[in-house]
């Protein structure tokens, strides 16, 4: 049995690569959003051509990003969402809540400092941990006998 | 026909009261989260007694807040979520995404300045507007013949 | 027991009023799309302000029209969709298919001349009839004992 | 990871073959309706024998066409629907709406000229593009990392 | 609290009236199929006009009968299905199974003599009883405190 | 793409084997109920030991038969149900209706003589045919291009 | 807005009456299982007549008890389950888990001493409290503004 | 066709190994909870670090145990739950009810002595048997032809 893991959350450091490297011995397949930030912002204009204002540019881009997210989230068995110190990360929160609503168990990674603003989301997650290693332990536990 | 509207989002100004006042002539019933910010933070310890650390205090509070949200969201026909300039508002994003996942149409209110960080959430909303008056116009349109 | 009926389909003649008049003795409540065609086309700009191109104007309008449709369709027990000779009526077809997918029984009204292009949609409907009187008979039959 | 794509829409030119040719390097499997127009119209009588009138002939054919569509749509991860200038294409609209209701993301292809009659359907689609190449770019984006 | 009860099953004797008479003191509302057998057989031609063969006549009638059943079954909280000695009663079995699949509890009434052909359906029912009085006792028990 | 077909209906002749033989060239896998009639009747006592009365014997057997049906029906893409002249076949009707309720397309096979008692069930089926060959043609059509 | 509360759990003391008395000022309607223990055990034989063994007596009774539970649980907005020191209370655990699976929020009442055997169930509950007063506070919080 | 079986229930003897050994010839894959009792109790502190009280330790552990259960239960086609004489086994009852609510057929194993406290849960199970051998016969029956 293999599990597919959707890696939601911020795309500003290499935490996804760290998870992949550290879990090489587990039967896991990883999917997630476009991690190239510029490409994620520009994909709407790249496909549809120039848009009249930055708001329309964002609207166009978000359609293609959400197309990707919907399809890959649907294919997943479990979702990991990592919140960092910077940026608003509302899309991370939305992806996390989408996962919950689709009945996909959510593993939330956040530093202790972020516990207050994330408290209701954390309560909805199946588990909340503080770092990548703990998230991997959570996944590893599923396969132990 | 009356509609029940869940007012998600920040609880730091009186935007909910403004909506209620301005829509008095529409057949709408409003529900929403606890708006007394301190009470929302303390409800866990109020019911369960003192908790060992601030994190546990938050965990306890969030359980009762989420109990309230789940029941009232389930009773709603449509959700309005307002995002402001301040605070992380991750719970607002999560409530908005829960509404979407429950197939409740979402009316998102955000200022033009917030369009970039909210772009994917905005794309999932049924409509995105910039102020309370436009949100009320959206609801009013449902009842016109 | 009262039933709520969503009247989908073209908004270019007064067939909805005809149904309402002829079924006054049945315990039915009727809902449906905005029937004022210009208002339906302009509602996006009316609420959000001028849009950069006709396509964006249509996109804005359709969001508010779909907000209305989603909420009212969800409240309905049965859907009547009438197709006429003129116009493409793709939105009528989409509303009809949405009703089917939501497990709301569909009563399709179409003239005999339209049977070929509507054949697959007709097959998905619960009943297909040729005029408003037959649709009312279908609803009346539900209440007979 | 491979994705299955249902190609809904008109069967009067070779747009499906064009998509297949141009996306050969992507891990995609394609399904769709019967593309032989005469066979699609005659399948009811071919299996059940002669029917008493053209309407009954159509009703019989549509049952077998819908059997095919339901099974193949259920197997799909994403749906592309192409609308052309000619014909009423109500079945295309119905297939598109069925896909939406089944929570399958819809990629709508239509020329700019068709934007007005398709505006509500376009708003329900995950993305709307104007040609086959843009639809393939949308699918390609899902697999990029 | 009132409950709505769908009375499925044969329409060849007055068992429905017997249930209604004997349960007058319970807060129950009853719905069910058309009980006038001829009208049930003829409703298709009555609305749509003469059909080319008896099979088409039956197909037309069944569409209107199923329209009625779907709407009323959806409105029900519990279903009673009575099987008698005569007739094939396949529609009763189908209505009973529809109720089960819609997660409506089924009370099956059948004489002891019919236990063998009904054994798999009986196992799917919530309760199986042998007469109308026992079915009423089952409903009465729900309201006792 | 392979499809799994559940063969519901009577177990008194070899129609299942006929379907399997005649469809050898199609990518189909077949499942269905226990076809050994005595074993189907006795499976309850075989596993649980002697039961106090024939009714309890039947109740025990039906639990194991329904365990089998539920699991195999859930694995299926499409259901064929054949009704014959003899026996009450209420379980066939129930299996057919379960398939419909699970949104599995139903292919109903019945001789012309049986059209009246099966009319409502036939209307719920995706297609109704008169013999095994027509059912195979229906399946074959799904795979044609 | 009124809420319906299902009171699951042991029926060996008067905790249900205590909740009703103490929450008289809240807009709550209460439902729950048969609280007369003997009647709950005997309802099967009362309706169906004497059964051959105590196991069959229990099987018969449980069918009518589950009929009641299913209907009333479906009507509820929130479930309270109280676990006591005595008895196995497996049915309480099953009712609690049914509520969770139906997406009804669960308020679990258990003394501190029972925390270990209830830990997984407690984690699935929306809130866990230690006494009736805390459960009422949880419900009261939903209505505060 | 292979089936995945979730083995719910007590983890205090080797019944799971017995099932695996005795069913080697059947196309079955087995999953289930962590069977190392100490590890199951300690997993929360192992991943998250020391917790302030035993209740918090249990709460932490249960989150990871439920993460595992949810994912593996979702992957299963059928669930076996074994109840023994000792311990409260409320989690077994909850897992059994979760399976039922997810529409996974439940095979309940319990000794005759336990019939009374398990009567309502037994009634919800698809089959109830008394030992491991009978459970394996139930599974074997699914594959016989």
pLDDT in tens, F21-30: 999 999 999 9
> What confidence score (pLDDT) does residue A7 get?
96
Q: Nearest C-alpha of chain E: how many angstroms from D51?
A: 10
Backbone angles phi, psi at A50, to 5 degrees: -60, 140
List of chain G residues whose C-beta atoms are within 8 Å of the C-beta of residue F53 = 52
Tell if the CB–CB gap between B126 and C67 is shorter than 8 Å. yes
Q: Does F137 sit within 8 Å of D47, measured CB to CB? A: yes
CA–CA separation, A15 vs A7, rounded Å? Answer: 9
**How would you classify residue E108: left for phi > 0, otherwise alpha for psi between -120 and 50, otherwise beta?**
beta
Cα-based angle D95, D98, D101 (whole degrees, multiple of 5): 155
How confident is the model over H102-145, as pLDDT tens digits? Answer: 889 999 999 998 989 898 899 999 999 999 999 999 999 999 98
DSSP string computed for B27-64: -EEEE-S---HHHHHHHHHHHH---SSHHHHHHHHHHH
pLDDT tens-digit readout, A92-127:
888 888 888 888 999 999 999 898 989 889 999 999
Taking contacts as CB-CB distances below 8 angstroms, the residues of chain H near B50 are none
Q: Is the pLDDT of residue D15 over 80?
A: yes
Residue numbers in D near E57 (CB within 8 A): none
Partner-chain contact D71 F142, CB within 8 Å: yes
The pLDDT of residue H61 is 95
F47-100 residue pLDDT tens? 999 999 999 999 999 999 999 999 999 999 999 999 988 777 888 888 888 888
Percent of chain F residues past pLDDT 90, beyond the cut: 73
Assess contact for E109 and E135: CB atoms under 8 A.
Answer: yes
Mean pLDDT of chain F: 92
Nearest to C116 by CA among D111, D65, F144: D65
Beta strand ranges found along chain A (DSSP E):
3-9, 28-31, 78-82, 106-109, 127-129
Angstrom CA distances, G43 to D84, G68, H107, stand at 66, 11, 25
> 3-class secondary structure for G54-97?
HHHHHHHHHHHHHHHHHHHHHCCCEEEEECCCCCCCHHHHHHHH
Inform me whether the C-beta atom of residue D71 falls under 8 Å from chain F C-beta atoms.
yes
The predicted pLDDT at position H137 comes to 97
Distance CA(H132)–CA(H16), nearest Å, equals: 9
CB C3 within 8 Å of CB C138: no
Rounded to the nearest angstrom, the minimum Cα separation between A101 and chain H is: 14
CB contact H74 to A (< 8 Å): yes
Question: Minimal Cα–Cα distance from C2 to chain D, Å?
Answer: 26
pLDDT digits (tens, 9 = 90+) for H39-51: 999 999 999 999 9
Question: Is H4 exposed, middle or buried, given 0-12, 13-18 or 19+ CB atoms closer than 10 A?
Answer: middle
Widest CA span in chain B: 57
Q: In terms of pLDDT, which residue wins out, F120 or F78? A: F78
Interface residue G54 vs chain F (CB under 8 A): no
Structural Rg of chain F based on CA atoms: 16
- How many Å lie between the alpha carbon of B37 and the closest alpha carbon of chain C? 31
Mean pLDDT (whole number) for A37-46: 94
Candidates D89, D95, D101; nearest CB to C98:
D101
CA–CA dist D27, D4 (Å, integer)? 9
What burial letters (b/e) apply to G28-38, b meaning 16+ CB within 10 Å?
bebbbbbbeee
3-state secondary structure labels for all residues of D75-119: CCCEEEEECCCCCCCHHHHHHHHHHHHCCCCEEEECCHHHCCCCH
- Which residues numbered 98-117 in F keep a CB inside 8 Å of some CB on D? 103, 105, 107
Hey, what are D15's tokens? 């747009």
- Is H123 at the interface with chain F, CB within 8 A? no
For residue G40 the two structure tokens come to 């709950």
**Mean per-residue pLDDT of chain A:** 92
Per-residue model confidence as pLDDT tens digits over B14-73: 899 999 999 999 999 999 999 999 999 999 999 999 999 999 999 999 999 999 999 999
- The residue of B4, B132, B145 whose CB has the most chain C CBs within 10 angstroms, and thus the best one to mutate to test that interface, is B145
Phi, psi of G8 (to 5 degrees): -85, 170
- Residue E137 · residue G39 · CB < 8 Å: no
More confident residue, C90 or C52: C52
The Cα diameter of chain G in Å comes to: 57
Percent of chain C with pLDDT over 90: 72
CA separation, residue F123 to residues C14, F108, F120 (Å): 32, 10, 5
Cβ-proximal residues to E119 (8 Å cutoff; 6+ apart), any chain: F58, F59, F61, F62, F91
For β-strands H28-31 and H3-9, DSSP reports them as parallel
Nearest to D15, CA basis, from D41, D35, D37, D29: D35
Indicate if the pLDDT at residue D135 is higher than 90.
yes
Subunits adjacent to chain F (3 or more Cβ pairs under 8 Å): D, E, G, H
Average pLDDT over all residues of chain E:
92
Task: Assess contact for B95 and B123: CB atoms under 8 A.
Answer: no
Residue F15 tokens read as 């129609």
State whether C124 and D66 contact (CB < 8 Å): yes
G69 CB contacts (<8 Å, ≥6 apart)?
A: G33, G95, G98, H120
pLDDT score of H120: 87
d(CA E139, CA E144): 9
3-class secondary structure per residue, E58-123: HHHHHHHHHHHHHHHHHCCCEEEEECCCCCCCHHHHHHHHHHHHCCCCEEEECCHHHCCCCHHHHH
Under a CB-based contact definition with an 8 Å cutoff, are residues C124 and D94 in contact?
yes
Query: F11: which 2 tokens?
Result: 């177990």
Identify the bridge partners of residue G7 per DSSP, sorted by sequence position.
G80
A52 token code pair: 């009249």
Task: Name the residue with tokens 């009929």.
Answer: G67
G71 CB within 8 Å of a chain E CB = yes
pLDDT digits (tens, 9 = 90+) for E55-110: 999 999 999 999 999 999 999 999 999 998 877 788 888 888 888 888 899 999 99
Do the Cβ atoms of G123 and H87 come within 8 Å? no
Calculate the alpha carbon distances from C103 to C125, E107, G19 in Å: 11, 24, 39
Q: In chain G, which residues have their Cβ closer than 8 Å to the Cβ of H55? A: 112, 115
Select the residue of D105, D126, D141 nearest A43 (Cβ to Cβ). D141
Residues of F with Cβ-Cβ distance to D7 under 8 angstroms: none
Please give the angle made by the CA atoms of D105, D108 and D112, to the nearest 5 degrees.
155
Cα C129 to Cα C20, C92, C138, distances in angstroms: 17, 16, 9
Establish if E56 touches chain D: CB-CB under 8 angstroms.
Answer: yes
The token pair that represents C66 in the structure block: 């779909």
Alpha-carbon span F59 to F47, nearest angstrom = 13
| pLDDT of C88 higher than 80 | no
Quick check: A88 pLDDT over 80? Answer: no
- Element at B82 (helix H, strand E): strand B78-82
Please state, rounded to an integer, the average pLDDT across all residues of chain H: 92
In the prediction, which pLDDT does B85 show? 80
CB proximity H43 to A under 8 Å = yes
pLDDT exceeds 80 at position D88: no
For chain D, report the end-to-end CA distance as a whole number of angstroms.
13
Q: Provide, as residue numbers in chain E, all residues whose Cβ is less than 8 Å from the Cβ of F63.
A: 123
Average pLDDT rounded to a whole number, residues C90-117 = 89
State whether D1 and A29 contact (CB < 8 Å): yes
Angle at the Cα of D105 from the Cα atoms of H74 and D113, rounded to 5 degrees? 175
Q: Distance, in angstroms, between C86 CA and closest chain B CA? A: 23
Give the pLDDT confidence of B82-111 residue by residue, as tens digits.
998 877 788 888 888 888 888 899 999 999
Q: Tens-digit pLDDT profile for chain G (145 aa)? A: 899 999 998 887 889 999 999 999 999 999 999 999 999 999 999 999 999 999 999 999 999 999 999 999 999 999 999 998 877 788 888 888 888 888 899 999 999 989 898 988 999 999 999 999 999 999 999 999 8
Tell me the helix, strand and coil percentages in chain A, rounded to 5.
50, 15, 35
Q: Which residues of E63-78 are buried (b: 16+ CB within 10 A; e: fewer)?
A: bbbbbbbbbbbeebbb
Query: Residue D89 has what pLDDT?
Result: 82
For residues C60 and A86, which has the higher predicted lDDT (pLDDT)? C60
CB G60 within 8 A of CB G51: yes
- Using the Cβ of E66 and the Cβ atoms of chain C, whether some distance falls under 8 Å is answered with yes
C-alpha angle with apex G54: E108 to F60, nearest 5 degrees? 50
> What is the pLDDT at residue H102?
83
Tell whether H56 is within 8 A of chain B (Cβ).
yes
D59's CB contacts (< 8 A; 6+ apart) are: C119, C122, C123, D44, D51
Q: Give CA–CA dist H113/H130, Å, rounded.
A: 10
| pLDDT higher than threshold 90 for residue H91 | no
The pLDDT mean for chain G works out to: 92
Residues of chain A above pLDDT 90, percent:
74
Once rounded to an integer, what is the mean pLDDT over residues E18-22? 96
Interatomic CA distance for residues C132 and C15, integer angstroms: 8
Per DSSP, A114 falls in state G
Residue D86 has what pLDDT? Answer: 77
Contact H123, H99 (CB under 8 A): no
Contact H141 F63 (CB under 8 A): no
Residues of chain C contacting residue B3, judged by C-beta atoms under 8 Å apart: 71
Q: Is pLDDT of H100 > 90?
A: no
Is B30 an 8 Å CB contact of chain H? no
Of E14, E11, E15, E12, nearest in space to E136 by CA: E15
Q: Which of D75, D142, D143 would you mutate first to test chain A, the one with the most A CBs within 10 A?
A: D142
Which residues neighbour D126 within 8 Å (Cβ) at sequence distance 6 or greater?
A63, A66, A67, A70, D105, D106, D107
**What count of other Cβ atoms lies within 10 Å of the Cβ of residue B27?**
11
Model confidence at C97, pLDDT cuts 50, 70, 90, reads confident
List, as one string, the DSSP characters of F53-110: SHHHHHHHHHHHHHHHHHHHHHT-SEEEEE--SSS--HHHHHHHHHHHHTT--EEEE-
| pLDDT computed for residue B50 by the predictor | 95
**Can you give the pLDDT at residue C39?**
95
Neighbours of chain D (3+ CB pairs under 8 A): A, C, E, F
Collapsing DSSP to helix, strand or coil, G129 comes out as: strand
Burial class from Cβ neighbours inside 10 Å (0-12, 13-18, 19+) for residue H80 reads buried
Is B88's CB within 8 Å of A87's CB?
no
> Which of A38, A67, A75 to mutate: most D Cβ within 10 Å?
A67
Complex ipTM: 0.91
Asked if B75 and G1 count as a contact pair (C-beta separation under 8 A), the reply is: yes
């Amino acid at each position: 049995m293999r599990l597919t893991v959707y890696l939601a959350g911020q795309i500003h450091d290499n935490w996804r690569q760290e998870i992949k490297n550290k879990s090489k011995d587990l039967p896991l397949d990883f999917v997630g959003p476009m991690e190239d930030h510029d490409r994620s912002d520009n994909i709407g204009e790249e496909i549809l051509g120039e848009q009249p204002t930055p708001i329309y540019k964002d609207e166009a881009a978000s359609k293609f990003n959400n197309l990707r997210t919907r399809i890959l989230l649907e294919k997943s068995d479990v979702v990991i969402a990592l919140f960092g110190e910077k940026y608003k990360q509302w899309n991370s929160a939305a992806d996390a809540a989408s996962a919950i609503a689709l009945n996909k168990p959510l593993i939330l990674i956040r530093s202790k400092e972020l516990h207050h603003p994330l408290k209701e989301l954390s309560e909805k997650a199946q588990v909340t941990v503080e770092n990548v290693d703990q998230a991997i332990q959570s996944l590893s536990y599923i396969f132990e006998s």
